[in-house]
A and B are shown apart, each in its own frame.
Chain A
Amino acid sequence: MAMEGLRPIAEIQFADFIYPSFNQIVGEAAKIRYRSNGEYTCPLVIRTPYGGGVRGALSHSVSIEALFYHVPGLKIVAPSFPDDVKGLLNAAIDDPDPVLFLEHKKTYRLIKGEVPDGHYTIPLGKANVRKAGTQLTVVSYGLYLHWALEAAQRLQEENVSVEVIDLRSIRPMDKTAILTSVQKTRKLLIVHEDNKFGGIGAEISAMVAEEALFSLDSPIRRLCGPDVPSMGYALPLEEEFMSSPAEMADAMRAMVKF
């Protein structure tokens, strides 16, 4: 449809069910412009609810971003706030290339916020400093962004100043926002629900190590999901997988003290 002039918006509910379409997304949509030397394009938006914390068991809980963010030709957006969802979804629909639009399913009912009237767009690839701070930079997205903000707020009451960056876009990613913040705070903690090994945090860590190693006062840390296939249905298995705001606050305190 997209190759013949339509602007389809597909929904794959849930992200765990996206695997059968992996070839269509990675092998086809991401390569159509490239393989035809720009003659054909694929302006496609794929919305998909991802993430856990909703008793979704093995097949309604996963984070899929790391499987796709390696792929040139795709763009990936993961907004956390309602106003960003509208602006980024409009931008994704306008975008001339395929966009994977990740919506954390626990935020659907958990997060409320004002959404401006009328049409507006938010450019892909621009992060947003959701809380300013001076002693530590925390980079996150999705549900964990909200929990990281909650933890940072808790630390504020302890007179610890943490800056929280909402990535919003995973591919492309906002290098300037991350480096500007890290050069100020000199410490970086990356928090994401997806498992740690080969995750988004690895790329951010490598970029900061390449570009700003000598600005750092402590090792980069990543607080991420464990290396298991998914979270279990039983409550203890889900809770063990997820990081809580309290765990995030502990990690932040430890880094600030370092």
Chain B
Amino acid sequence: MATTDLRTGSLERHGLSDEQLRDMFRNMLLQRQLDNRGFQLNRQGKVPFALGSEGHEALQAGAAMAFNRGRDILAPYYRDLGLCLGIGLSPFEILLSIFARAEDHNGGRQFPNHYSSKAAGLMSFSSILAAHLPHAVGAAFAIAYRGETGRAVLATCGDGTTSEGEWHESMNFAAVHKLPFVMLVENNEWAISTPLAKQMAQPEIWKRAAGYGMPGRRFNGFDPIETYAAVKEAMDRARAGEGPTLVEGTCYRYLAHSTDDNDLTYRTREVVQERRKDDPVPAFEAVLLEHGIVTPEGVAAMRKDVLRETNEATDAAEALPYPEPTDLYKHVYEGAWEPWQS
């Protein structure tokens, strides 16, 4: 957890203000509340599917703080609720996605958690992991090709994705062209039901960076401040035209892959409970309390406010209509479309 300077007793905060630290913590609370809401709605029979990011809260809150809104591009995957909140998506937009409403950025077409927002610089992605990475390095190539500086692409993936061919192709392309690109791996030790040991013989993903000729670094993804520092350093490097970086944050997936997965068929409840002892949400709360950045009353008020915001977003999104059946036919191509031309 967040490092404390042993001599002064002060928090190593890497330039983050009290307000920024509180923002990160609020993001973490909001992630957990929204994750919980998706599962609640699924269990209530209101939505067919939900997928959570529990265990990734600190990593994503920290990484989002290193993202420059209005300039950088995010190419995330489907377990990036906190990152998407952190770059500007609202709980209402998250609930629109969960409820598959017409007003959702994807018009209710994609699964929940497949966020997209051109305004926020959040690239559309599919469920096929690693397929977004050629797009991400392509976007970085576009930035470099146009000679733009001060912008970078932050792409994310889980540990499982690093075994895909497109992961390698993208890393190599980014390195060859020295692109403004950061590959952030959120290593939660599970590729759905495949444990890390069955995914790779060498479990330190960051070490692969050397093979591509780029810097690599591993950090504790349960620590939002350490995450921020690692991702910020990589993003600054990319923005300055110094090329790509591979950063690997270690975390853990506390929930099953999705509401359609029973993780007890491949891991025990006890193992998860043991790992819950490192839960980054209460751990970061303790750090903030210890250093007087929040008060117990302040945390209680924050939790209440996060619940209120989630409830309001839930009610607002649920009240909105589904897409019309005729919306099925829109946006296949630009304009009206018929494969047989007359």
Contacts and interface: CB of A to CB of B under 8 A. Distances in A.
A27 B339 contact: no
Interface in A5-43: 5-6, 8, 20, 23-24, 27-28, 31-41
Interface in A55-99: 72-73, 75, 96-97
Contact of A4 (B73, B109, B332): B73
Instruction: Please report whether the interface of chain A is mostly helix, strand, loop or mixed according to DSSP.
Output: mixed
B118 A39 contact: yes
Interface stretch (B79-87, B127-135, B215-223, B228-236): B127-135
Interface in B89-114: 104-107, 109-110, 114
A172 interface: yes
Contacts of B104: 37
A2 B143 CA distance: 12
Contacts of A175: 340-342
Interface residues of A, number: 38
Instruction: Please report whether the interface of chain B is mostly helix, strand, loop or mixed according to DSSP.
Output: loop
B110 A35 contact: yes
Contacts of A31: 126
Given A1-B141, A28-B135, A33-B334, A176 B106 contact: no
Interface string A220-235: 0000000000000000
Interface in A163-199: 169, 171-176
A39 B116 contact: yes
B51 to A, nearest CB: 17
A35 B107 CA distance: 8
B331 A3 contact: no
Contacts of A38: 107, 330-331
Nearest to B109: A35
B138 interface: yes
A37 B342 contact: no
A171 B332 CA distance: 13
Contacts of B331: 33-34, 36-38
Contacts of A174: 341
Contacts of A96: 333-334
A154 interface: no
B340 A173 contact: yes
A-B pairs, top 8 by smallest CB distance, nearest first, are A37-B107, A125-B341, A36-B124, A175-B340, A1-B138, A4-B142, A4-B139, A38-B331
Interface of B: 73, 104-107, 109-110, 114, 116-118, 123-124, 126, 128, 131, 134-135, 138-139, 141-143, 145, 165, 330-334, 337-342
14 contacts: A1-B138, A1-B141, A6-B141, A6-B145, A24-B131, A27-B128, A28-B126, A28-B131, A28-B135, A35-B109, A35-B114, A35-B116, A37-B105, A175-B342
